Amino acid sequence: MRVKRRHFLFLAVGLVALNSFFWLAGSGFALPKAIITQFFGSKMIRAEVLIQAPVGTQDWRIDRGVITSIALPNITLKEADGTPVTIQVNSTARVQGPPRYYNVTRLKRGLRVVIYHQANLPSDLVQVEGVGG
C-alpha cells in the first residue's frame, strides 16, 4: 500500500512540475504569429491569391490602402508602400464597415479600405477599415 502511495506522489509531483514548466515556458514554444495573420493581417499591403476551383484556377487580388480619388467605377488607393493603384468597382459592390458607408457611392477620400476582386474584373467587395492611415 505504501509503495502505491509513493508512486502516486512521484507521479503527482512530476505532473505538477511538467505542467508548471509548460505554463511558464509556453509562449516560448508557440509560433510568434500565425502564418495567416502574418500574410493577411493588418500589415498586408497587397496580395495576389490563386485558387484552384472546379472551373479552373481563379486569380484574386487584395489591395489595402487609403482612398485618394473616386471617379466611379474607379477607386484609386495609395498603398502603404506608396504605390498608387486604380481598381474598378461595381456600383452594386457590397461595402462592409460602419453603417454610414452602406454602398460605394458613400465612400470618400481618406478612408482606409481593403478591396477584393478577381484579376481583370470589377470588385464586388470593399471593406472599410477606418479613416486615414
> Quick one: 100 and 122 in the same domain?
yes
Q: pLDDT by residue (tens digit) across 56-108? A: 888 999 999 999 999 999 999 999 999 999 999 999 999 998 889 889 999 99
87 shares its domain with 114: yes
108 with 43, same domain: the answer is: yes
72 and 106 in one domain?
yes
Residue whose entry in the numeric block shows the C-alpha cell 477599415: 129
pTM: 0.70
Tens-place pLDDT, residues 41-70: 778 889 898 888 888 888 999 999 999 999
One domain for residues 90 and 119: yes
The Cα–Cα gap between 95 and 18 comes to: 50
**69 and 24 inside one domain:** no
Answer for the pair 107, 65: CB distance below 8 angstroms, yes or no.
no
The four Cα atoms 101, 105, 110, 113 give a dihedral, to 10 degrees, of 60
Q: Which residue range is the domain that position 7 belongs to?
A: 2-30
> What's the first-to-final CA gap in the chain, in angstroms?
70
Note whether 108 and 93 are within 8 A (CB).
Answer: no
Q: Are residues 49 and 85 in the same domain?
A: yes
Distance CA 71, CA 87 (A): 10
- H-helix segments, the chain: 2-29, 35-40
